[in-house]
Amino acid sequence: MKVYISCFLVQDIEFIIASDECGVIYLANEHTHEYVNRHIERFFSQATKVTGYEADQYHTHYIEELNLYFAGKKQQLEWPLNLAGTDFQKSVWQTLLTIPYGETRSYSDIALQSGNMKAVRAVGGAIGANPVMIVVPCHRVIGKDGTLTGFSGGLDLKDKLLNIEKIQL
């Protein structure tokens, strides 16, 4: 099994993407680059890492689509995903995938939709562990009072993503 890893720029933001034949396993900005290797070692330890030209060619379509998203010309990034995490994390990430473009939800909303209103902190932890930012739209989760809260990519990027989607807080 191969895991393809590429770094690229979109609007002066450095991203890293990793994927295998099943789909994208990781997408993050420069704030979380160090986590990609840990994620691959933990969940895809038997994989051979492929970088450079071959990986960049493998990711061309994803990079083009992310550029369109940042330009406001594409609302949905319907990429095949190969999400690795605990069952609870994957359940929360599936819930995030139901948040429509241009809308937000609170952590409490996600906990309620996930079936456990008392698990707000655990939901926050699962959202923070999301390995495929933007595609699994954790940036659409805000504080109960409508404020920007935690985002692994940094609050500036979260604000930028919400502005792209024309969400005003």
Angle between helices 107-114 and 87-96 (to 10 degrees): 120
CA distance readout (Å), 161 to 30, 54, 99, 137: 15, 29, 14, 10
26, β-bridge pairs: 18
Catalytic residue among 27, 132, 135, 138: 138
pLDDT at 167 over 90: no
pLDDT at 31 over 80: no
**Where does 2-141 have alpha helices with state H?**
33-43, 53-58, 60-70, 87-96, 107-114, 120-128
Q: Is 138 a catalytic residue?
A: yes
pLDDT at 117 over 90: no
Q: How far apart are CA 136 and CA 134, in angstroms?
A: 5
CB atoms within 10 A of CB 118: 8
Q: How far apart are CA 58 and CA 53, in angstroms?
A: 9
Confidence of residue 33 (pLDDT cuts 50, 70, 90): low
Angle between helices 107-114 and 120-128 (to 10 degrees): 100
- Mean pLDDT across the stretch 85-99? 96
pLDDT of the residue at 32: 66
pLDDT of the residue at 139: 96
